[in-house]
Amino acid sequence: MNANAGQIQNVQPERVFALLHTRPEGLRAAEVAARLAEIGPNALATRARHRWLAILVRQCINFFSLLLDLSAAICFVAEAMQPGEGMAMLGWALLGVSVLNAVFGFLQEYRAERAMEALRRFLPQRVTVRREGRDQEVLAEALVPGDLLLLAEGNRIPADARLVACTEMVVNNAPLTGEAKPQPLTANAVQTGLTESLNIAFAGCAVLKGNGEAVVFATGDRTEFGTIASLSQDIRRTVSPLERETNRMVRVLSAIAVCVGILFFAYGVVIGNSLWMNLVWMLGIIVAFVPEGLLPTLTFSLAIGSLRMARRNVLVKGLNAVEAMGALHVICTDKTGTLTLNRLAVTHLVDGLRGEPLAGTGRAGFLRLAVIASEVRAGAAGFTGDPLDVAVVDLYAAEVGAPEPLLANTRRHFAFDVRKRREAGLYAGEDEIVFALKGAWESLRPLVAALSDPGGGPPVGAEPEALERIERNVAELASHGLRVIALAHRPLAAPPEPGTPQETLEQGLVFDGLMGIEDPLRPEVPAAVAACRGADIRVILVTGDHPDTAEAVARRAGILGAEEAPGRHTMTGRELEALREAELIERLRDGILVFARTTPEQKMKIVLALKRMGLVVGMTGDGVNDAPALKAADVGIAMGLRGTDVAREAAQVILLDDNFASIVNGVVEGRTIFRNLRKFTDYVLAHNVPEIVPYLVYLVFPVPLAINIIQILSIDLGTDIVPAIALGQEPHEADTMRRPPREIEARLLDWPVVAHSYLFLGLLEAAYSQALFYFVLVLGGWSYGDPLGPTDPLNRSGMGIALSSIMLMQIGNLVGRRSQYGTGIDLGLIRNRLIVLGVALEVFFSWAVLYLPSAHRVLGTGPVDPSIYALAWLGIPYIFGLDYLRKRVLLWHRTGRVVPVVQAAP
């Protein structure tokens, strides 16, 4: 039933009714019911959304959770086979870790898909239509193709409709097209594409001025608005770099743990050990290898990072987007409302003949005439009407005085005519009568008979040479991306007769000058763009505006350099449409930085091409038309104040102050967070080796087990959590925004981290903790080969000192991880209060496992002589000192210097 969108704009108004099988008096009730049954309601279809239970189930069946669940099940079976050995407690602990990680994953992933509901809120709820010859109010959802829609100022358009009659109608298509310029509409036929047509009222857009009648030809998903919504829904959110890396790290560590655990279980079977002992070995190795606290710690760190970003006006909806901000290689930014303020302003008043700015009385007189040629209405919130007229009146109020007396004496207004491209007003006061006219220079030039003197002298004749000079000044203003409006007037000796045609009054006009209109650039944007370029982040402008306007804004913002040749780095949507992805990638590599006259589909095409180049892409925007690209990007960044609900729902990051400069703050935080994640990953993995080695030694040699599984979990999920989170909150370094973005393949768990944590720090900690364990056993009278059960007081004391020493050595590790080449102390311990808290907790628990009876019962540890506990404290300088020596050697090897650079920001 929907009309052919390729021709509805090309026919005269009277033909529209025939095309849509309707009539000027509207549809009959039976026709409405039939079409509603065939087409469906004027609503956007909702896609199947993930239920919260499905998301939770998916988190519970990932590899990491299943591994822990299986281990917990084995513990419960073992407890049933041999009660009283503490396996049930271990099973509940492992199950708790599994549930904890599943809950964190669920909270991280669960973001309600409310874009469809936001779109519904964006569309009007009730509208006025004409049916069976009567004007009536109906629900917007009840509209069908063929309905005659009655539109008035302030209405939001509920469906795509072809105008068949209108009076002075101006709409704002910015939510759909991204263009801030108000669009005058006409009911006449046009020979353009549908989206460029001046006789189409599009769903979701607003009527700024005037009124009209339009026949609905597309409803619901068939509207341009619905097409964009469908694009947004069809796009699946890509996996962020951090998600990719954490999933890989968990898979690698879990696979190693399972393989080693099964290997030693098989070895125990071969040498004839009991099933019980083999289970203990396998579980011990799996629990020791898998850093159970790593994922909760990572989530906590990201959550705290997101709060810190919120304090800098960057609201993060998905935690992984916190780090993804720091990985950005490219930011594709919209113009309207992002780089600019999304409002029209008069920024230039120019003497058209000389090209010089107007000042003094000449400026005031010019503004007075411009107000006469404007039509606004006063309201509680200020003046309303055509945004250009409002901008003129606001400037008059700011520079000259109250405009109300001038407006009150403007007896007659000639509305803006789309064909004539001008509007006018007639002022009739006690002192003078004047007709003022403003519009495009091309439409005023044939009417100009004289040129005014801004200094107050008499007008001079409009010679051809003078008119050509004005023409050049118009072109100069337009080259800077300004919309140029010319102003002229005609003094009258007496009021004209009522009904005098506008054409009669337009005789013998005196030209007064030119106005430059623009959507002003946000003042903080150039500095923010410069910071992005300094950090090797490429900024690309993607807009629906005219190429000249887009390029001018790009130059003012610093996206294009002043020396760049016009058009060299700019591409239009028409050119883009003709390119295959490989060709687009080639043009992007050649340095295209501005895309103009783009459609939502083309914005998404640009984002996908950049991603195909192996780049992490951010997309900013605030309009409905930005939603698909926001969702397709690695990081969608929406405006919080001016952005539509649709854009905010599609994005992962929201700028609370609509300030492009806040993106730089987000990038700084994101880069800092990734570096800090590497720090605490290195820190957390180091204690895995002193947890694994006792099981390997116990398997190969006739010696007691130096650490049990509950003790391992007391480190992984206890004492190391706060220090790891503290490392995640370290301040950014001074050169953070002077480095290039990290490579997309950069790993949290790479060979340098593995070598340092496992083969250096881990082995050092394992050697020292094992030495203290056997030292206590030998002092207690134990001999090599003597059996010693886990409940034996001597064994419990040995386990206690081994566990305590690992906790204390992690303090040296913690301080050392703060700096890549420095001591870590030089950064100031008290600057990060969580570091102080982490150290205090490590110290307290290192004492508690030895001397607190309740800890003895839970962990199976026992006390030692204080002098031996003092030996455990030597583990701090032992780890810290050897690690710092390694840093110095590494620094000398890489740079030839032995003095590290202080890395933290002041």
- Do 760 and 866 belong together in one domain? yes
Q: Is residue 248 part of a domain?
A: no
Q: Is residue 60 part of a domain?
A: yes
List C-alpha distances in Å: 226 to 38, 83, 627, 708. 18, 64, 12, 60
- Do 659 and 723 belong together in one domain? no
- Do 439 and 500 belong together in one domain? yes
* pLDDT at res. 610: 95
Q: Is residue 672 part of a domain?
A: no
Residue-number span of the structural domain to which 653 is assigned: 319-341+522-665
Dihedral pair phi/psi, residue 73, rounded to 5°: -60, -40
Most confident range (mean pLDDT) of 189-203, 614-628, 760-774 is 760-774
CATH code, domain with 337 = 3.40.50.1000
Say if CB 341 and CB 519 are below 8 A apart. Answer: yes
* Total domains in the fold of the chain: 5
pLDDT tens, position by position, 766-813: 999 999 999 999 999 999 989 888 889 999 999 999 999 999 999 999
Q: How confident is the model at residue 52 (pLDDT cuts 50, 70, 90)?
A: low
- Do 787 and 881 belong together in one domain? yes
pLDDT tens, position by position, 585-609: 999 999 999 998 887 778 889 999 9
**pLDDT over threshold 70, residue 569:** yes
Residue ending a domain, among 486, 518, 550, is 518
- Do 529 and 512 belong together in one domain? no
- Do 656 and 702 belong together in one domain? no
- Do 396 and 511 belong together in one domain? yes
Provide the 10 A C-beta neighbour count for residue 773: 26
Dihedral pair phi/psi, residue 169, rounded to 5°: -85, 125
Say if CB 677 and CB 298 are below 8 A apart. Answer: yes
Biggest CA–CA distance in the chain, Å, is: 123
Residue ending a domain, among 518, 542, 575, is 518
Grouping H, G, I as helix, E, B as strand and the rest as coil, residue 493 is coil
Q: Is residue 868 part of a domain?
A: yes
Q: Is residue 391 part of a domain?
A: yes
Q: What is the distance between the alpha carbons of residues 427 and 812, in angstroms, rounded to a whole number? A: 83
Q: What is the distance between the alpha carbons of residues 483 and 363, in angstroms, rounded to a whole number? A: 19
Closest among 301, 310, 296, 308 to 674, alpha carbons compared: 301
Predicted TM-score (pTM) of the model is 0.71
- Do 485 and 605 belong together in one domain? no
DSSP codes of every residue in 548-585: HHHHHHHHHHTSS-TTSPTTTTEEEHHHHHT--HHHHH
Q: What is the distance between the alpha carbons of residues 347 and 332, in angstroms, rounded to a whole number? A: 27
* Of 7-16, 356-365, 647-656, the least confident: 647-656
Residue ending a domain, among 234, 259, 280, is 234
- Do 108 and 160 belong together in one domain? no
CATH code, domain with 474 = 3.40.1110.10
Grouping H, G, I as helix, E, B as strand and the rest as coil, residue 4 is coil
* Of 307-321, 504-518, 572-586, 733-747, the least confident: 733-747
Q: Is residue 107 part of a domain?
A: yes
Q: What is the distance between the alpha carbons of residues 733 and 531, in angstroms, rounded to a whole number? A: 15
Provide the 10 A C-beta neighbour count for residue 34: 14
CATH code, domain with 813 = 1.20.1110.10
Closest among 831, 819, 825 to 679, alpha carbons compared: 819
* Of 25-34, 723-732, 742-751, the least confident: 742-751
What single DSSP character describes residue 715? Answer: I
Lookup: tokens for 327: 């990985």
Q: Is residue 596 part of a domain?
A: yes
* pLDDT at res. 851: 96
* Of 84-88, 120-124, 479-483, the least confident: 120-124
Q: How many Cα neighbours within 13 Å face the side chain of 375?
A: 18
Q: Is residue 247 part of a domain?
A: no
Closest among 336, 334, 338 to 542, alpha carbons compared: 334
- Do 349 and 457 belong together in one domain? yes
Closest among 663, 655, 553, 581 to 618, alpha carbons compared: 663
- Do 709 and 849 belong together in one domain? yes
The region that residue 88 occupies, defined by phi over 0 for left and psi between -120 and 50 for alpha, beta otherwise, is alpha
- Do 129 and 28 belong together in one domain? yes
Catalogue the active-site residues.
Answer: 334
Say if CB 177 and CB 601 are below 8 A apart. Answer: no
Question: Order of strands across the sheet with 653-655?
Answer: 314-316, 653-655, 635-639, 617-621, 330-333, 538-542, 594-596, 570-572
CATH code, domain with 132 = 2.70.150.10
What mean pLDDT is predicted for residues 602-627? 86
